[in-house]
Structure 1
Amino acid sequence: MSFTELDSIYMARAIELAKQGRFTTTPNPNVGCVLVKDGHIVGEGFHQLAGQGHAEVNALAVAGDNAKGATAYVTLEPCSHYGRTPPCAEGLKAAGVSKVIAAMVDPNPAVSGRGLQILADAGIDVASGLLEQQARDLNKGFLKRMETGLPFVTCKMACSLDGKTALNNGQSKWITGPQARQDVQAFRAQSCAILSGADTVISDNAKLNVRTEELPFAMPTSLPIRQPTRVIIDSQNRLTPDLALFSIESPVIIFTTQLDNQQQWPHFVKHEVVAANKNKVDLSAVLARLAELQFNHIWLEAGATLAGAFAQQDLIDEYIVYIAPKLIGDMGKSLLNFAEVTAMGDVTQLTFTDTQIIGDDIRLTAYKAKQATHTEDKE
């Protein structure tokens, strides 16, 4: 089916609405909906919180009786199953819309074409594929989990112009400027989990939370501030409850190879025992377990050894690197540590997808070359 310029304008509006839920909808996808009748928007909405009304429900509530005969532009195929909320496909059908255009089919096996089929069987015109790539970019984590059974992993790094993350004595505060650090807070806030290692938690006494006072924009006041779950790899049970990480009452998952029953942990701390790989926590098993727990997007913020292990095992989907206009020299600490590569044909090939100036620093975004795709600009 061919789409008009107006169709694209209304779907673009639905995508902008969907972005408003990117801090709060997990584990559900970000979805926006616009209802148009006689050339006018009569209702619009976006999914705000899991367990609450989906985008279509919110848009229909605004439109009221004007929904009858309207065209619905939805960034993701309307759901067809009963969960915590009724099926949106049934809601659109009951409202009497005449046409539904979805940006993409939902890869969730519980939906995957069934929502559009319900509508088509009711005599409603249906189409999909309008601004599909932009719609996919809204939900990289959700889509990867549905399509592969693993979450989407973004590895954040910060370094000097010569690729060093710290002085040889360990000093690293601050390589990047305040604007870059605020930018990191915004990315943290959009993630389901912040993943790091025991080394980082112990050496930096890191809290790994979203510092809301540093966000570079105001969060919607009507939506709660969600702290991502902090996920720590601790193969040797080196963490102790007195660390700053545990001074903040928000969920922590510690992955280890065997439980240590000697410590008394806060109630919000959960331990997960996974298989060992050469006496270390199996990183693939960690990601598989996080997917089972419905984590879509993982923000990896770790030291050179753990980040290097994820990279070498090809477990990173996206790299976000902040480069500061500073020179540290040969004695500085490296960005990633992993085994030597001896042939150029074996190096990891990345594709840059975005470059932005953030304060005095540069933010580079790169994907593995085999899955390079458009990356939307962030506020």
Structure 2
Amino acid sequence: MQRLSTRGNDTRWLNATARLAARGRPTSRPNPAVGCLIVKDGTVVGRGWTRAGGRPHAEAAALEEAGDLAAGAIAYVTLEPCAHVSPRGPACADLLREAGVARVVVGSPDPDPRTAGEGVARLRDAGIKVDILPTPEVGDSLAGYLTRARLSRPFVTLKLAVSLDGQIATASGESQWITGEVARAHVHSRRAMHDAILVGGGTWRVDQPRLDVRLAGLEHQSPRRVLLSRGIAPDGVTVINTPSQIERLDEVQYLYVEGGAQTAGSFLAEDLVDRIELYRAPILIGKGRSALGDIGLESLADAHGRWTLTERRQLGSDSFEAYSRSRPEEN
């Protein structure tokens, strides 16, 4: 499919659509969280995102809101409109065609073989102009779905909460709490955006974490609990024996890894971490317990060029930074 040069307005609308898509995470599973905006004469007349359980799709919701105003409008959608009819709903490419939109701007082709290229072809066959305009924001909004399609595993975020000197606990093992209330609330909001949350066996036995979401109104979005261990699975918990077995976590697009140090190190050693979310408290611990175990690094030169800072903010007295993994095949 054709890739067109970036256009300022199209990029702005697509990035807004990507932010809208976030409302669908993670409840849209097993479908990707997609966003759609219907724009006419510079005004949004319809907006939609993938709803809980995957239906309705973003395009269907946006077209329903737009009604007759969709005729002659531009549809911005983060993922190529689906081309397959499901018992749960019609193909979005057909809905857009029937609504009479004049143009569709797509942020990402769909790797699903039932649609790949067919959604765009069906629209073009109907005389609708279609532009493919990838943006980093759209890629980020579909990261779990695209990682599943490309690597057959979830998109993995590693969360670390450390002191200024990189410790996660005192020498005696005391770790609650390194960060303050604002940062901890932010962690719970991040948990709510993930399909599953994973800790190692040591953390499970020592800390007995609840691994849920404790923010008012979001309790129902507590992620599936996963334990990296060779022991027997506790009630309500999925056990995997090695980091590579995350590919077995059905319908998990976004995996949140919280620790401890050996678990974090093992995921990094196998290059399975796509994003690091680092919370840093303004305290010094000195002799304590490091945030990471062995990550398999043999040369300092190999440590450079792997991580790119993508986000930074202040959370009360603590700082937050997010880093994305830079992989040569993605450049």
Does the pair score TM above 0.5?
yes
Q: Does the Cα contact within 8 Å between 2:124 and 2:130 map onto a contact in 1?
A: yes
Q: Report the Cα offset of residue 42 of structure 1.
A: 2.5
Q: Report the Cα offset of residue 253 of structure 1.
A: 1.3
Q: Does the Cα contact within 8 Å between 1:51 and 1:85 map onto a contact in 2?
A: no
Deviations 1:100-148, CA, capped at 9 Å, x for gaps: 111221222322211111111111111111x522111112111111122
Counterpart residue number, 1:288: 247
Aligned counterparts of 1:73 and 1:339: Cα–Cα separation in 2: 42
Counterpart residue number, 1:11: 14
Residues 237-316 of structure 1 aligned to structure 2 (within 5 Å): 237=232, 251-255=236-240, 281-284=241-244, 286-290=245-249, 293-316=250-273
Counterpart residue number, 1:343: 299
Q: Does the Cα contact within 8 Å between 1:73 and 1:101 map onto a contact in 2?
A: yes
Q: Which amino acid aligns with 2:154?
A: P
Q: Which moved more, 1:195-204 or 1:25-34?
A: 25-34
Give yes or no for the alignment of 1:98 onto 2:58.
no
Q: Does the Cα contact within 8 Å between 1:320 and 1:364 map onto a contact in 2?
A: yes
Q: Does the Cα contact within 8 Å between 1:27 and 1:142 map onto a contact in 2?
A: no
Residues paired across the two proteins, number: 326
Q: Report the Cα offset of residue 37 of structure 1.
A: 3.0
Give yes or no for the alignment of 1:47 onto 2:50.
yes
TM-score between the two structures when normalised by the length of structure 2 = 0.90
Aligned counterparts of 1:136 and 1:200: Cα–Cα separation in 2: 33
Q: Report the Cα offset of residue 183 of structure 1.
A: 0.7
Deviations 1:166-221, CA, capped at 9 Å, x for gaps: 011111111111111111001110011001122111101111111123xxxx66xx
Give aligned-pair identity as a percent: 39
Q: Report the Cα offset of residue 85 of structure 1.
A: 2.4
Q: Report the Cα offset of residue 32 of structure 1.
A: 1.7
Aligned counterparts of 1:334 and 1:120: Cα–Cα separation in 2: 56
Q: Does the Cα contact within 8 Å between 1:352 and 1:366 map onto a contact in 2?
A: yes
Counterpart residue number, 1:264: none
Deviations 1:46-92, CA, capped at 9 Å, x for gaps: 22222421111011111222222222111211111133322100111
Aligned counterparts of 1:42 and 1:368: Cα–Cα separation in 2: 37
Residues 137-148 of structure 1 aligned to structure 2 (within 5 Å): 137-148=140-151
Q: Does the Cα contact within 8 Å between 1:351 and 1:372 map onto a contact in 2?
A: no
Aligned counterparts of 1:51 and 1:324: Cα–Cα separation in 2: 38
TM-score between the two structures when normalised by the length of structure 1 = 0.79
Distance 1:339 1:138, change over 3 A: closer
Match of 1:227 among 198, 222, 236: 222
Q: Where does the alignment leave 5 or more consecutive residues of structure 1 unmatched?
A: 256-280, 374-379
Aligned counterparts of 1:298 and 1:69: Cα–Cα separation in 2: 40
What root-mean-square deviation, in Å, do the aligned CA atoms of Structure 1 and Structure 2 show?
A: 2.4
Distance 1:333 1:228, change over 3 A: same
Q: Does the Cα contact within 8 Å between 1:168 and 1:333 map onto a contact in 2?
A: yes
Q: Which moved more, 1:11-20 or 1:132-141?
A: 11-20
Q: Which moved more, 1:166-175 or 1:90-99?
A: 90-99
Q: Does the Cα contact within 8 Å between 2:15 and 2:135 map onto a contact in 1?
A: no
Q: Which moved more, 1:69-78 or 1:319-328?
A: 69-78
Give yes or no for the alignment of 1:150 onto 2:153.
yes
Q: Where does the alignment leave 5 or more consecutive residues of structure 2 unmatched?
A: none
Q: Which amino acid aligns with 1:321?
A: L
Residues 208-227 of structure 1 aligned to structure 2 (within 5 Å): 208-213=211-216, 225-227=220-222
